[in-house]
């Protein structure tokens, strides 16, 4: 049950935001080896944000998933940063990513937990 939230100060219109949300959904499913039917994505674009004291384009990304393997965090960081650089033009050194391994008992879904 991965959840990917991208907060960025990049100027992205509503149509492009929806396109990116769809693209990151299929990308994350493949990257995290999860079925896309349980992937949720969200984008908050045009957000007031600074990184290193600069308002240049940057992003904060949350990747939460049941059973997230800490041993693969660096590999996933490279992949997600590469995606953001390619699709949004965000330099890799202007992206923070928070990876969280969620316990299934603490992840609500479909009226229950996982």
Residues assigned a catalytic role: 2
Q: Which residue has the tokens 């693969």?
A: 72
Torsion of CA 58, 72, 5, 56, to 10 degrees: 0
Residues facing 44 on adjacent strands: 7
DSSP state of 54: B
SS3 assignment, position 42:
strand
Q: Where are the beta strands (DSSP E) in the chain?
A: 3-8, 40-44, 59-66, 95-102, 108-109, 112-113
């Amino acid at each position: 049950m991965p959840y990917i939230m991208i907060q960025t100060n990049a100027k992205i219109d509503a149509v492009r935001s929806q396109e990116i949300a769809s693209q990151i959904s299929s990308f994350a499913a493949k990257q995290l080896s999860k079925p896309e039917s349980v992937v949720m994505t969200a984008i908050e674009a045009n957000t007031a944000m600074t990184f290193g004291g600069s308002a240049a384009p940057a992003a904060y990304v949350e990747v939460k998933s049941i059973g997230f393997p800490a041993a693969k965090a660096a590999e996933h960081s490279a992949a997600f940063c590469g995606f953001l650089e390619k699709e949004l033009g965000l330099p890799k050194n202007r992206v923070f990513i928070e990876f969280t391994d969620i316990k299934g008992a603490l992840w609500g879904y479909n009226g229950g937990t996982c």
